[in-house]
Chain A
Amino acid sequence: MSANTQAPITTQVHRVYIKATPEAIWNAITTSEWTRRYGYGGDVEYDLRPGGAYRALASEEMRAHGAPEVAVDGEVIEADPPRRLVQKWRMVMDPAMEAEGFTRLTYEIEATAGGATKLTIIHDLAGAPRLAAVVAGEFENEGAGGGWSWVLSDLKSLIETGTRLAG
């Protein structure tokens, strides 16, 4: 058990199948028209080229609870629409998480043979244990949202049925 001297794996992988085109999924991730309708809500600003700025703004509801204007900031590393988006990603709503620095987030979008799309989020959270707990949904009961699995479940519901999940 302890013979393994490797560093612990700090990557999280979240995957969902959605009945939609890769383009629809890409738009749902990168445009405010969609991002304000699922998950944590709020607008996004993406400059979709290497080195381009990224910001996710807190929704009105979050701001009403005292959140700052910017919830997440980062930088685009690779943008290959509608297949692959790699970016730096840092939660700045909380000083402790901001201090953990940038993490690396990858979206992989792949059409399947049956006309659905496989969306995979690979979040490399090296050096960011607090953020890792938040995106794993460990603080959901404290009102921090259910992390990536909650976001993806909500996104699937929105795209497939036109309505998001309650709560």
Chain B
Amino acid sequence: MVTYHRDMADDDHVFKALADPTRRFLLDRLFARDGRTLSELESELEMTRFGVMKHLRVLEDAGLVTTRRSGREKLHFLNPVPIRLIHDRWIDKYTERRISALTELKSELEEQA
């Protein structure tokens, strides 16, 4: 059983987890091919196993990586949902505003024409 020291995978943890190039690299590797073992991920980084484990732990705590057992192996999966939540909560809001601003500008210009 995994014990969660905190209940929700909230935005703060996700932003902090993403604010590191090694962790973004790990996510990119999982995006390219999901369900990797620690050894596979480790082989692509100039870093000790302990270092990679630490980064994976931060990603797991943020909910960005989930692990599942497959036989004797522990596989790491990218969980895209927290990024989606941030997208829906933060990015959509501002891009929509920008698009509607452009739409308004367009109609204003067309009225003038």
Contacts and interface: CB of A to CB of B under 8 A. Distances in A.
A15 B7 contact: no
B40 A4 contact: yes
Interface in B56-92: 63, 66, 68, 75, 77-81, 83-85, 87-88, 92
A115 B7 contact: yes
Interface in A102-157: 112-116, 120, 122, 136-137, 146, 148-150, 152-154, 156-157
A46 interface: no
Q: On chain B, which size bracket covers the interface?
A: 20 to 34
A113 B7 contact: yes
Contacts of A149: 80-81, 83-84
Nearest to B68: A13
A101 B3 CA distance: 37
Nearest to B4: A112
Interface string A1-35: 10010001101111111010000000000000000
Nearest to A8: B33
A99 interface: no
Interface of B: 3-4, 6-9, 33-36, 40, 43, 63, 66, 68, 75, 77-81, 83-85, 87-88, 92, 96
29 contacts: A9-B34, A9-B36, A9-B75, A11-B68, A11-B77, A12-B34, A12-B77, A14-B79, A14-B80, A14-B81, A15-B63, A15-B66, A15-B81, A16-B81, A17-B7, A17-B9, A112-B7, A113-B3, A114-B4, A114-B6, A137-B80, A146-B84, A149-B80, A149-B83, A149-B84, A153-B88, A157-B88, A165-B92, A166-B96
